Amino acid sequence: MSNPRKLSQETETVSGESVELTMAGHDILFPKLPYDMKQRAKDATHNDQLQEFVNSATRMRDQLRINHCNDVFGDNYDKMRELAGSIKQHTLDHLDYYIEQFIDNATAAGTVVHYAADDKEANAICLEIAKLHSAKLVVKSKSMVTEETNLVHDLEAVGVETIETDLGEYILQLDNDAPSHLVTPMIHKNRASVGRAFARELGVEYTDDPKELTQIARRVLRDKYRQADIGISGGNFMIADSGSTVICTNEGNGRLCTSVPPVHVAFIGIEKMIPSRKHLPVFLKLLSRSAIGSPITVYNHIMTGPKRSHEADGPQEQHIILIDNGRTEVLKPETREMLRCIRCGACLNSCPVYRKVGGHSYGSVYPGPIGAILTPVFKGLANYKDLPYASSLCGACYEACPVKINIPKYLIKLRGDLIGGKHDKFIDRIFFKMWAMSLKKAWTYRMAGKFAGVFLRLRAGKSIKNKDPYLNRGWVKKVPGPAAGWTEKRDLVTPPTKDFRSWWDEHQKQKGGK
């Protein structure tokens, strides 16, 4: 197979049918900064296909999560989340200790452990390993942190063919697209577009049958595993007291990537640590149920060191690259909780905003609610001013999170940080200042309310039909100023002529009269 990234700019299939190519993969996750999400969000809300797929897939998985977790954990579901959250929080509180312990134990088991301060360092270490082994072909399992470092791009730039082996990621790679979900990366694509990409890039006959497509991918990928010089993986967990790495996959590709090629390189964010193997079941029980509503991931692979002399399988050499890339910044006490994330994607599945805008609207590697709080801290708040505000703060993410990250709380915190950094609009600042001032006294509050009422009722005109002074509300079709966005999509109700206080006074008089 030729390099898919280079070929995918073609705009016609073998059948001559025109293809709608998505944005180049890289630009989707690494847009021009500062990032303005409004255009992509607007496009997404007008994209019927995306609306249908993302909506149905996320809702199905969210419902499966709820059903499975309630079935298994019952009233203890919340306690499980509390437990998982507290294990992660404890580990993060003592991360320096656990990282040292992990390095000692992994090294003792024969693994070479590297530490990378940022994306460039991480990729440079990997390129060096590739060079040492004169690598020509790399197979890779799914890993969000390698999306963060843009690893595939850097490997291919030096002529190392790098194949994504997770089926979803493989399809995205063929189509020069980018993941839009942490767990189900091609949630935004349909079968037909997969069929077209396969026909175009692999030269096979067009089919949109999922089984056939899977078989084609399997056939192509099997050979790649055998030929590969290096296998690259991410890591779901690192176990400090044994120096082990855990990867959880459903397709078995992770196991092939980490055991067939002679060299295995794991890219892992430093926050993926847990203290001991005894803590692992808590997360294995929660991870897959939270992610896709299945009892457990199909392949749970615990690796400690490379192949030993008496073992038949496994890599001869194993490297782990511990990656910081902004994590120590997030580790400061006021945002530390964010690093508990185990990348299950439950917050995306439960999020009504994600369901409408899809993953690419977040303009970064990490989409959805968790991305909306992580990305601004990773990449600079001023670069992602939309993300903290593009949420209704409904709290569905917090309810779904298996490690109890209070995402709405952090969205509000980041909003406060934007204001503290004077990133808010002057008119907003004055508006809220005046509103807040009017609320200090009941009479100014009431006067402001009356004033707004008169203004709105004048604009509502003939729409006021009810005669009851406590119900005679009308509708405004259009308002100017900061509230214009409201009437862009819906009518604005007016207050009735009399407020509750008027009734209360009358009520007291009547009672006194009795």
Partner 1 sequence: MKIDLFITCLADSYYPRTGIAVVKILEHLGHEVCFPKEQTCCGQPMFNTGYKDDTRNIARKMIDVFEDSDIVVTPSGSCAAMVHENFETLFEDDPVYLKKAKALAAKTHEFILFLTDVLKVDLKELGVQWQGKATYHYSCHLRGIGIEGGGAKIVDTIKQVDGLEYVQIDKPEQCCGFGGTFAMKYPQISGAMVEDKVNCIKKTEADVVICNDAGCTMNISGSCERADHPVKFITLAEIIAEGLGLLEPEHV
Site for partner 1 in 41-60 (CB under 8 A): 41-42, 45, 51, 59
Does residue number 64 form part of the binding site for partner 1 (CB under 8 A)? Answer: no
Cβ distance to partner 1 smaller for residue 58 or 258: 58
Does residue number 399 form part of the binding site for partner 1 (CB under 8 A)? Answer: yes
For 434-470, the three-class secondary structure string (H helix, E strand, C coil) is HHHHHCCCHHHHHHHHHHHHHHHHHHHHHHCCCCCCC
Alpha-helix runs per DSSP H in 203-250: 210-227
CB 86 to partner 1: min, Å: 20
- What CA–CA distance (Å, rounded) separates 370 from 361? 14
- Choose the stretch contacting partner 1; rule: CB under 8 A; options: 21-29, 231-239, 339-347, 498-506: 498-506
- Choose the stretch contacting partner 1; rule: CB under 8 A; options: 191-199, 200-208, 272-280, 407-415: 407-415
> Rule CB under 8 A: which of 244-263 touch partner 1?
none
CB 442 to partner 1: min, Å: 5
Q: Site mask, partner 1, residues 180-219, x = CB under 8 A?
A: ----------------------------------------
Does residue number 112 form part of the binding site for partner 1 (CB under 8 A)? Answer: no
| Residue 53 contacts residue 187 (beta carbons within 8 Å) | yes
Cβ distance to partner 1 smaller for residue 221 or 397: 397
CB 408 to partner 1: min, Å: 9
> Rule CB under 8 A: which of 297-356 touch partner 1?
350, 352-353, 355-356
Cβ distance to partner 1 smaller for residue 211 or 467: 467
CB 495 to partner 1: min, Å: 4
Alpha-helix runs per DSSP H in 327-406: 327-330, 346-350, 352-357, 368-379, 386-389, 396-400
| Residue 132 contacts residue 193 (beta carbons within 8 Å) | no
| Residue 236 contacts residue 292 (beta carbons within 8 Å) | no
Cβ distance to partner 1 smaller for residue 136 or 433: 433
Count of Cβ atoms closer than 10 Å to residue 402 Cβ = 28
Give the one residue of 102, 170, 398, 410 binding partner 1; rule: CB under 8 A: 398
CB 289 to partner 1: min, Å: 16
CB 461 to partner 1: min, Å: 14
Does residue number 380 form part of the binding site for partner 1 (CB under 8 A)? Answer: no
Q: Quick one: which of 195, 174, 199, 207 has its CA closest to 14?
A: 199
The residue count of the chain comes to 514
Q: Which helix (H) or strand (E) holds 504?
A: helix 500-513
Q: Which helix (H) or strand (E) holds 192?
A: helix 191-202
- Choose the stretch contacting partner 1; rule: CB under 8 A; options: 185-193, 271-279, 372-380, 391-399: 391-399
Does residue number 35 form part of the binding site for partner 1 (CB under 8 A)? Answer: no
- Choose the stretch contacting partner 1; rule: CB under 8 A; options: 12-20, 281-289, 312-320, 434-442: 434-442
Cβ distance to partner 1 smaller for residue 278 or 441: 441
Give the one residue of 122, 507, 509, 513 binding partner 1; rule: CB under 8 A: 507
Total number of residues that touch partner 1 (CB under 8 A): 75
Does residue number 451 form part of the binding site for partner 1 (CB under 8 A)? Answer: no
- What CA–CA distance (Å, rounded) separates 346 from 278? 24
- What CA–CA distance (Å, rounded) separates 342 from 4? 30
- What CA–CA distance (Å, rounded) separates 125 from 132? 11
- What CA–CA distance (Å, rounded) separates 390 from 368? 10
Cβ distance to partner 1 smaller for residue 121 or 424: 424
Cβ distance to partner 1 smaller for residue 250 or 361: 361
- What CA–CA distance (Å, rounded) separates 368 from 359? 6
Give the one residue of 66, 160, 262, 349 binding partner 1; rule: CB under 8 A: 66
Q: Find how far residue 497's CA is from the centre of its chain.
A: 47
CB 50 to partner 1: min, Å: 11
> Rule CB under 8 A: which of 455-494 touch partner 1?
465-468, 470-471, 473, 475, 482-486, 488-493
Q: Which helix (H) or strand (E) holds 300?
A: strand 299-303
Cβ distance to partner 1 smaller for residue 133 or 356: 356
Residue 474, judged by CB atoms within 10 A of its CB (0-12, 13-18, 19+), counts as: buried
Does residue number 435 form part of the binding site for partner 1 (CB under 8 A)? Answer: yes
CA atoms within 13 A on the CB side of 56: 8
| Residue 62 contacts residue 267 (beta carbons within 8 Å) | no
Q: What sign does the dihedral 418-424-430-432 (CA atoms) show?
A: negative
DSSP code for 482: G
- Choose the stretch contacting partner 1; rule: CB under 8 A; options: 145-153, 300-308, 337-345, 435-443: 435-443
Give the one residue of 357, 403, 405, 407 binding partner 1; rule: CB under 8 A: 357
CB 507 to partner 1: min, Å: 7
CB 474 to partner 1: min, Å: 10
- What CA–CA distance (Å, rounded) separates 253 from 251? 5
Does residue number 372 form part of the binding site for partner 1 (CB under 8 A)? Answer: no
**Helices 368-379 + 407-420 axis angle, to 10:** 30
Give the one residue of 428, 430, 454, 478 binding partner 1; rule: CB under 8 A: 428
Cβ distance to partner 1 smaller for residue 139 or 370: 370
